[in-house]
Amino acid sequence: MAAEDLEWERSKISNQDINMLKRLGLMKKEDAIRFPSEESYPNPPMEYRVSFVDHLIRGLSTPIHDFLRGLLFVYGIQLHQLTPNSILHISIFITLCECFLGIPPNWALWKRIFCLRRNGSHNATYNIGGVVICVRTDVDYFDVKFPDSVQGWRKRWLYIHEESANSVEHNIIPFDGSAKIQRRRSWDAEASEEEKKATEALMSRIHQLQNTRGKELSGVQITAYFLRIRVQPLQARKNPLWTYAGENDANRLSNDLSVKDLEKLIRRISSLNKRDPIPSSCRVEPYSSANPLPEPMIKELIRIGSQFIGYREYANKTEEKLAAINERANALAQKLEQSEEARKKAESDAVQARAEADKAKTDAAGVEDLRKRLHTAETSLSEHIAAQSAREEAILKRIRTQSRRFVNRTAQEFELEDPDNDPLLDALSFLEFHGSEAREGIDQAKAGLSRLFPYFFPKKEEPATFLNLAKCFNPPEDLGLKVRHENMKVAVENTVALVADSQQTIDWAKVGDTEQIEQSRWKSLIKAAKPNTKKILAYLGIKPSSTPSSSRPEV
């Protein structure tokens, strides 16, 4: 189970909640709602979706309204990922459009007022109720008086029967509790200039409804209205609310609620307390069969309903509807093809990344070989210096002996008996020759160690003397292994950077588990990666080596 699913636990629905659902008429239809038994994680039956008691009492019912289906599709979210306050926002918006603006719920108008945001805390990201619908900061909208928090709503989950729509594209996706919430550009989608121009009159009407003195309309009044008339705004209905016909309306789910039940329900879903009055009616008379829409507004309704994507049921031309469906199908097919190409590219990039890691390991092996050669050179140099020191000591001994003979001959002027075969001269010549050879060897060794010093000690200053320089290369730790680890780290970071640049989601736990790869499989992957190795190395500024890279990665 994914980390996001840990919020689920056994459903705890009280008898009081069940009685409320019955009074609202939500259980009148057989098998419309099913309650979980002992499961602690949702497992809805076929054609059922996961919902909550607090969603249903805020206007949700099945079959689900097409506008809500469209929002779930455009935003790429599931029903259980919306908070109760977000559900109420949608219910109020649909009621506002149909009862007070005289139009079907309009996508362009929605974009001018609302946007979507991720819901979570600093320590956790929610899956249940992981997104919330917000009013844009620059928009003056109705004061809905939402409660600061809805206590325990995540524990009151159940299954609702979702009837299939006429076409598959209108069906909401089945429940998937492990699906992660992915932010989309549509969350912040704004209305285009053409849409703003077309909805300017609607925004002016909303402003008028809010601010007409003595006839101010509030979010609580709109909520109380759809609860009072017993019509669920988020249910697909035969007729819009501007044709509401009272007690005999076909969309009503139950009889009128008692005044006590209505007030209790309104206080439950709002921030009103026991002292705040509950509106008994709206200050602005909503459109209905008793207060029909004026003729010009009906024409404007038809024009707006035909203008925007998502309201094809109000369009007049069947040919335009068919063309839109075909265009959508072509776009989906193209996206599917692009997704397949992206998947293949990700697999290719992963193979190339593994090849790069192999190359880094090979380079590290080369450094290890260089370290061994350096150690051999140092050993040979030490032996040579020791042998030379022994020879010099013997020569000095002979010089001291000759010197003593020279001092003893104070009575007469010193003269060489045999200059051509004199051992002192031979010793001095031998000392001068091998001393020069030793100095040259030490200078060459110092030059070699100086060139290697920045690679092994990049943050240290090179010692001035050869002895201190040589001591640096004989520490207790293995210098070659240390450099190899550093190179391996850089190679892995380069690999991660290349994969991240492809903008693909990678499970790094599986990427790092290379012990399960068979040798034959590994060799085939390396062989497939070699054609693109030079390009990647050139991108990283590394000159390719002729050394084969077919070894397994080291983790």
Residues 262 and 391 in one domain: no
Q: Where are the alpha helices (DSSP H) in 409-532?
A: 423-456, 466-472, 479-501, 508-511, 519-529
For 158, other C-beta atoms within 10 Å of its C-beta total 23
Lowest mean pLDDT, pick from 59-73, 205-219, 274-288, 318-332: 318-332
Q: Residue 318 above 70 pLDDT?
A: no
413 inside domain:
no
Percent above pLDDT 90 for the chain: 31
Report pLDDT digits (tens) over 380-426.
777 877 887 787 777 777 766 765 665 555 444 445 555 556 666 66
Distances (CA, A) of 22 to 15, 17, 55, 56, 250: 11, 9, 15, 11, 18
Of 316, 349, 377, the residue that ends a domain is 316
Looking at the structure, do residues 372 and 301 belong to the same domain, yes or no? Answer: no
The answer on 274 and 373 residing in a single domain is no
> Residues 439, 299: one domain?
no
DSSP annotation of 135: E
Domain identity same for 254 and 368 = no
Sorting pLDDT into bands at 50, 70 and 90, what band is 307?
very low
391 and 297: one domain? Answer: no
pLDDT, position 297 = 56
Rounded to an integer, what distance in angstroms lies between the CA atom of residue 254 and that of residue 55? 18
Asked if residue 62 belongs to a domain, the reply is: yes
Q: How far apart are the first and last CA of the chain?
A: 27
Tokens of 442: 């030490």
Residues 293 and 356 reside in one and the same domain? no
* Residue 80 shares a structural domain with residue 126: yes
What is the C-alpha to C-alpha distance for residues 268 and 247, in angstroms, rounded to an integer?
Answer: 25
In this predicted model, what pLDDT tens digit does every residue of 481-528 receive, in sequence order?
877 777 777 777 787 777 777 777 777 767 766 666 777 877 888 888
CB 298 within 8 A of CB 307: no
**How large is the angle between the packed helices 259-269 and 219-228, nearest 10 degrees?**
140
Q: How many domains does the chain divide into?
A: 2
The pTM is what? 0.55
pLDDT tops 90 at residue 316: no
Residues 303 and 350 in one domain: no
Range of the domain at 72: 3-316
Is it the case that residue 49 has pLDDT exceeding 60? Answer: yes
Q: Is 530 exposed, middle or buried (0-12, 13-18, 19+ CB in 10 A)?
A: middle
Query: Is 134 part of any domain?
Result: yes
Of 286, 316, 346, which one is at a domain's C-terminal end?
Answer: 316
Beta pairing class for 131-135 and 114-118: antiparallel
User: Could you tell me if 401 and 304 lie in one domain?
Assistant: no
Residue 163 lies in a domain: yes
Let me know if residue 9 belongs to a domain.
yes
- End position of a domain, from candidates 316, 347, 367: 316
In a domain, 430, yes or no: yes
- How do residues 237-286 score in pLDDT, each as one tens digit? 888 999 999 988 999 999 999 999 999 999 998 888 888 888 888 888 99
- Indicate whether 369 belongs to any domain: yes
Residues 144 and 259 in one domain: yes
Q: Tokens 């949608």 identify what position?
A: 90
Say whether both 511 and 471 belong to one domain.
yes
- Residue 324 domain flag: no
Question: What tens digit of pLDDT does each residue of 174-217 get?
Answer: 888 888 888 999 999 899 999 999 999 999 999 999 888 888 89
Task: Locate 208 and state its tokens.
Answer: 């008028």
| CA-closest candidate to residue 289, choices 252, 241, 256 | 241
